[in-house]
A and B are shown apart, each in its own frame.
Chain A
Amino acid sequence: MASFDDNTQFVIGMLRECGLAHKTIIIVLDEFHRFAQGKQRLLYSLLDAMQSVTSQAVVIGISCRLDADQLLEKRVRSRLSHRKLLFCPPSKEELDRLLECLLSLPVSSSLPQSYIVEFNKELRKILADKKFKDTIDTLLSSDSTVDQILRFLFLSVSSMDLKTGILSVENFMTAVVRMNRQPKLECTKDCSILELYILVCMKRLEMREQVSYNFNSIMKEYKAIHDSFQTPDYYARNVCIRAFEHLLQCELISFMDNRRNNQSIEFRPVKLLISPYELHQGLKLNQSCPTILQKLMDQIGKRS
């Protein structure tokens, strides 16, 4: 196992040799911002070698961060020629061309010719459809990178009807639905009633401007609700702890500190990770939500 200095000497030696042999070397550093973490020894020695050694070499850095060159130390940045090429996500016209190009079957493929013709004809009809265009625009307005397009197309193609082998508009629509997820809402829809109670108690505590609260305060609030409204859902403390842990697992709530002091979970301050609007929506969509909770949520909504 060679040390860092040995490897650097080797690289510099090789660069010199290649330079003497009139060979150009292109060094590509992908995820450039990761090289800029820590002490940047590699970058410094590499860029230093570029300047001092008689070599014909160029270093290209690729990064998804726009400020990758700002992350560099002063001595490294001074050795960089500040040339940046920005690759933008495709524009609207390019998107249309891209879609057609990716989806249509090439004429020279080994499949039967009549099938190819029919497939491409149907495809062009779909791409020209107005509703389809609107849906695609909405989807890609949030994220129009090629990655997103690829995933969307993969989802559409995978739901293609295998008997006919022709894409239809429904495939694309199901794919759009799959791409537009609302994870917190999904989680809230799946909560049991006890868990919803806990969430609403936390919301009420927040509305009372209590800065930090923990499981014990939530239990107090829960008892207060039970006393004032005589709800049938009053469960023992250990069952509530189980429901509390389940909410922690779903990431609808979380602790405010990071594993401090080995305190048990009843005393650590918690916070809600879901906005009041989402909670309200979730309560509405939850099929078994009791009306008392809806009422309490509405009360909170009016007060804020």
Chain B
Amino acid sequence: MGNEETPQSQSTRRTTRSLASVIASDYDSETPKKTISISHKPTIKNLIYEYNKPLSLDHLLSRFPARSTQINEVLCHLGPLNSPMLPLFIYGGASTGKTSIILDTFRHLKRPFVYSSCRTCYSPKVLFESILNQLAFHKRVEENGYVSVKKCEKPSDFANFLRESLVNVVDILKEKGAKMNVKKTSAYTWGNMVYLIFDDFELVREWDKSSTILPFLFGLYLMLGLPEVGIIFLSKVSPDSYYSNSGHIEPIPLYFPGYSEKDLREIFMQKQENSERYSIVLKPFFRVTRQVDELSIAFRPVYEKYCQLLNDPGSNFSWETKQKREDAKKRLYSHLAPYIRSSLNEVFEISPLDTEAKADEVKGKASSKKRGAHDEELDFHMSVSAKYLLISAFLASRNPATLDASLFDPTGGLDGRKKRKKCSEKATEQKEMAEQELLLKGPGTFPLERLLAIFQCITSVEDISVDEEVDDDDGAPVVNQVAQYDLTSNVLLQVSSLCNANFISKGSSCPLEGSTRYKSTVARSLKFPLSRYLFRR
């Protein structure tokens, strides 16, 4: 069953005009394409990671500063050439170096392996086909129509095909080994073993058929019965969470612990000189998170600021005597401290508006709030009516339905609310309980009609309350356009796009549920006096 389309079959089908033009252009560029496509066909050497760039053991150990015990354990487990192994299960937190260490260890050992990540191979079919493609040295390219070498959906088929391909590859390896031993030309000795690596294994638990796939993959080693195959699993979660009711064979676990503060310092030192000055920054961030990826993103702006200070010709930092070093450190720290404190409270995200924020820092304003607003505003490409709909959804989910009349009455029912009676003890208790409930329950549901009613009320009332806001340099054009909003079908379409973007979620029997995110930024960007409409008990 070929998915490849020959030009002849295409002409017998009904062709649209665009398709016909594509066919025409194909004929023209066919010959030059053919010469380019006789490119690199994968061979067994492709199964070895970076064959032309060998990695010595010392180099391997120095690339991963705090991981020498783990690397040694992996090397012990894999053993010398041609030693069979039981399946290995490596687990550890995020960014602890599992994938990179395994790949570099195999680069050092120069042994062939087949790598597949359960994140890019998001279903059993894709996983099975990816592994079979790699073992058959087949690359999915344009010429063969991106078709895999074998269609494989069921585990039963996969077991058979895998066995065939593995036996094939092992035979090729044995042949090459025998030939090379006779010739004794190359320094590389071909072993008999091939390894299968499954990365991001914890995602398999969330697949549809995980209850059959998990025991199947764990039992792959026993099922194949080939001593020349080694299997390695990499996962973020410990093997305990893979236990299910069925008995499956447990692989040998290996834990990659998180980094301690000293280790983190070593890791960051690898790229920078002037080590000790890093320590003032590392300590406060270390209290929040220990993941290398989050820390490196957080450190970059701080380090830039730090370098800026050091390179400033006005300040003179001398590092000769110990006392002067301490002084210098104190000065640096006092300068950086407010910046560190504010950036600790940032979520560790990359902000492209760094340059703008830096300008504000120099002026001396506490610009963290402004940076935050910039970050969130970036995501906000919504039409004005969509923003109003979002506000209406928020109000509808927060306020009880009975208050709508008094809150939204355009003829001025707003001031009746301001009176506050003295509350008795019981009432305060009830208030607390109600607050608690609000914390727990989350946003409420509302029917579509209520949302539209509130929307119309808000948009008609808008011109009254807007005058309170004084400075609106970029807000001015927005404000003038508000006027009267008719409930056109465009506005109704916005509701469905808000649902799709997950700002409003659809419940059963079509009530909608408001979401809490972005409420303040929307209100701020539209200069909407949200607090007036919000019901506070």
Chain A residues packing against B (C-beta within 8 Å): 31, 33-34, 64-65, 147, 150-151, 154-155, 158-159, 162, 178, 181, 183, 186-187, 189-194, 212-214, 216-217, 220, 233, 235-236, 238-239, 241-243, 246, 249-251, 261-264, 266-267, 269, 287-288
B289 touches A246 (CB 8 A): yes
B94 touches A31 (CB 8 A): no
Distance, CA A243 to CA B436, complexed state (A)? 23
A217 touches B439 (CB 8 A): yes
B247 touches A216 (CB 8 A): no
Looking at B255, B289, B291, the one whose CB has the most chain A CB atoms below 10 A away is B289
Residues of A near B85 (CB, < 8 A) are 154, 158
B247 touches A64 (CB 8 A): yes
A239 touches B344 (CB 8 A): yes
Known: A33-B246, A151-B86, A239-B344. A267 touches B440 (CB 8 A): yes
B94 touches A249 (CB 8 A): yes
Known: A190-B257, A249-B94, A261-B507. 19 other contacts (CB 8 A): A158-B76, A159-B76, A183-B238, A186-B238, A192-B288, A193-B286, A217-B436, A217-B440, A236-B345, A238-B346, A239-B345, A242-B289, A246-B94, A250-B93, A262-B502, A263-B505, A269-B440, A288-B261, A288-B287
Other-chain residue from B79, B289, B344, B442 in contact with A263 (beta carbon distance below 8 A): B442
Q: Is B236 part of the binding interface, using a Cβ–Cβ cutoff of 8 Å?
A: yes
6 contacts between A and B (CB under 8 A): A147-B250, A192-B290, A212-B440, A238-B345, A238-B346, A250-B237
Q: Is B434 part of the binding interface, using a Cβ–Cβ cutoff of 8 Å?
A: no
B302 nearest CB across to chain A (Å): 15
Distance, CA A287 to CA B262, complexed state (A)? 12
Distance, CA A250 to CA B515, complexed state (A)? 27
B240 touches A183 (CB 8 A): yes
A181 touches B290 (CB 8 A): no
Q: Is B123 part of the binding interface, using a Cβ–Cβ cutoff of 8 Å?
A: no
A249 touches B236 (CB 8 A): yes
B252 touches A155 (CB 8 A): yes
Closest to B80 in A: A162
Q: Is B77 part of the binding interface, using a Cβ–Cβ cutoff of 8 Å?
A: yes
B75 nearest CB across to chain A (Å): 9
B257 touches A264 (CB 8 A): no
Distance, CA A106 to CA B86, complexed state (A)? 22
B288 touches A235 (CB 8 A): yes
Distance, CA A155 to CA B287, complexed state (A)? 36
Distance, CA A33 to CA B410, complexed state (A)? 69
Distance, CA A220 to CA B435, complexed state (A)? 11
Distance, CA A269 to CA B288, complexed state (A)? 23
8 tightest A-B CB contacts, nearest first: A267-B442, A190-B258, A64-B247, A236-B345, A183-B238, A193-B287, A262-B505, A238-B347
Residues of B near A181 (CB, < 8 A) are 238, 253, 255
Residues of A near B247 (CB, < 8 A) are 64-65
Q: Is B46 part of the binding interface, using a Cβ–Cβ cutoff of 8 Å?
A: no
Residues of B near A217 (CB, < 8 A) are 436, 439-440
Contact indicator per residue, chain B 268-289, by CB within 8 Å of chain A (1) or not (0): 0000000000000000001111
Residues of B near A267 (CB, < 8 A) are 440-443
